[in-house]
Amino acid sequence: MDRLQNTVRPYAWGSTTALPELLRERPTGEPQAELWMGAHPGAPSHIDRGDGPTALSEVIAADPHRELGPATVDAFGPQLPFLLKLLAAAQPLSLQVHPDPEQAAAGFADEEARGVPRDAPHRNYKDDRHKPELLAALTPFEGLCGFRPAAGSAALLAALDVGGLEPYVDILHARPESAALREVLTAFLSADRSEIAGTVRQAADAVRRLASAPEPGRWAADCAAYADIARHHPDDPGLLAAMLLNHVRLEPGEALHLDAGVPHAYLTGLGVEIMANSDNVLRCGLTPKHVDVPELLRVVRFEASDPAVLTPEADPDGAEPYTTPVSEFALSRHVLAPGGAPRTLRGDAAQIVLCTAGRATLTDEVTGTEIVLEQGQSVFVPAGERPRAVGDGTIFRATVAV
């Protein structure tokens, strides 16, 4: 086992207090959005095996079969296939969607063939992999995920009583659902910003009005979320696109699974996020970054769906797994009780173990190595090691589902 030295990413949407409080550090006054744990080239964790800090990506590259396990290398190549994060959102992230494996491979190959630089701001596909995600809430957490049924979105837009939205209400009522969602989203994202700006402002005023009404109505909670989006992204047509999506509230312990083609955005809260080790993001709005509308429309799944909210249930070993169909990662929560039986974290693949509350002591059954984790601290466990966990804290275990 190796204690991880991790990097905080200071994105503008990050909280100034949530990560410092969890890490028990003094706030800097600057946003601290994400703490990365893994071997992603953008900000790899470092470990020290006696010869100074070394990037985890370099350690794995030197002996991938030993570090990751043969099955992982056979399935995903000589790289850690997941990235684990602590994510602390104080304001809305961009509205976005991820491609499926076939779309990612085709999009990457096309941009490579056309010579689009990988660091170009208009590039869509930074690699040839998909990017499924799972976010487990540590605090109450809000987000947007998947299309609301067309009739529901029509009712919401009608409740705003904005003249410029009336044609879209009619479309959502009159067309088959998939066609209606496609037509309305396309119209919102393709409109000339100067021509639609008045409608966006009126919609922002309307959601603020409904969110603060003395007697909360059907859409009060949703409109409060949209009002916050409007505050941080004034005049952005992405506000209208966001109104087509389900508003989701997670309680601590609940998780949200985000599959390919599902439009989504995180809004506020602190959580543990795990994803396939990819950078492929197609943005729909709420961002100054590049929005490729034609490619986005090719990737989005235009179907209404209930958000994939997961509530873990303890298995016979006491672990609380979040079950998804993804093979690149598996995440489980372990709530340790003082004086409880040791919890063995079995697996033939590499693991990252993160402590999010209290304290946990990990002792490897193979090497006898012992590491104490305080909240916010994490370790890398090479394949073949079998740590036992005891303590009075909560840990999250990330590994590969192969």
Look at strands 359-364 and 2-3 and give their pairing: unpaired
Residue type present at position 301: R
Residue type present at position 310: L
Written as one string, the DSSP assignment of 288-340 is SS---HHHHHHH----B---EEE-----TTS-EEE--S-SS-EEEEEE--TTP
Radius of gyration of the chain measured on its C-alpha atoms: 22
Indicate which residue of 26, 182, 193, 283 is catalytic. 283
Find the angle CA(67)-CA(133)-CA(389) to the nearest 5 degrees.
50
CA distances from 285 to 120, 233, 243, 264, 288 (A): 19, 9, 12, 11, 8
CB 136 within 8 A of CB 333: yes
User: Residue 103: which H helix or E strand, with range?
Assistant: helix 101-113
Residues in Cβ contact with 232 at an 8 Å cutoff, skipping those fewer than 6 apart: 91, 92, 286
CB 169 within 8 A of CB 159: no
Token duo for residue 327: 């093979």
CB 2 within 8 A of CB 367: no
Tell me, yes or no, if 283 is annotated catalytic.
yes
- The residues assigned a catalytic role are 283
